[in-house]
Amino acid sequence: MTILLAEDDAVTREALAELLVGEGHQVVAAKDGREALAHWSAHRPGLVLLDIMMPHASGYEVCRAIRSEDRHTPVLFLSAKSEEVDVVLGLELGADDFLRKPFGKHELLARVRALLRRQEMPVRSEIFHLGLWEVHPKRLLARRDDAEVELTVREVKMLTLLARRRGEVLTRDELLNECWGMEYYPESRTLDQHVLNLRKKIEADPSRPALIETVRGAGYRYPAP
């Protein structure tokens, strides 16, 4: 698997590249955002690891450019920026996960393996309904009357699982295992932020969700009719 690693700190970049190569991956490394976009176009990697604060183009800008033409390839932000707003922005731009520096090598490798496994997880192909929305998995979109919203692969998988198990409470572990292919990290806000983003797209009133209910202390649920 080819992994694009964009990191402006040379010591960190070399250490991460060595770690990933040791796991059997091919690594194309970039020292800034402009170089990262050039490598992206040339190599079309299977996974992208992005620092945020880079010269010439930030990780946010690189992610936005990638997502403008590819909504499937996993993107993982690696950043010392740890404010909630930074995590929110990264995930809203279409990143799959956000790992705060400093992090351990075992956690990074676990996230990488999970995202690569997710690539192998099939996406439901048939059209299905969630509330008044008609979800088109292969096209990564949902329609309702004259409205149309774009969906990410993770969002399609979340909606698929919610629709298939309507009325049941889905735990955080179940959602992460089924939709990301990874175990739940207690400090991670990835799942919560994806739920918030999805509610903004499909709920009539995201502050009072009717399609993706929060079941406090348990998880989330698509209510039975």
Distance of CA 49 to the CA centre of its chain: 12
Q: How many CA atoms lie within 13 A of 197 on its CB side?
A: 24
Round to whole Å and give the CA distance between 23 and 124.
30
Give me the residues of the chain with pLDDT under 50, please. Answer: 184, 186
Distance of CA 215 to the CA centre of its chain: 23
How far is Cα 67 from Cα 120, in angstroms, rounded to an integer? 19
What's the confidence (pLDDT) of residue 116? 84
What is the per-residue pLDDT for 122? 55
pLDDT, tens only, 194-203:
899 899 999 9
What domains can be seen in the chain, in order of their start residue?
2-120 (3.40.50.2300), 128-221 (1.10.10.10)
Predicted local distance difference test score (pLDDT) of residue 190: 77
Q: For position 185, what pLDDT does the model report?
A: 54
The pTM is what? 0.71
> Which pLDDT belongs to residue 123?
58
The predicted structure's pLDDT at residue 186? 46
60 to 24, 97, 99, 159, 163: CA distances (angstroms) = 28, 13, 14, 26, 32
pLDDT of residue 99: 87
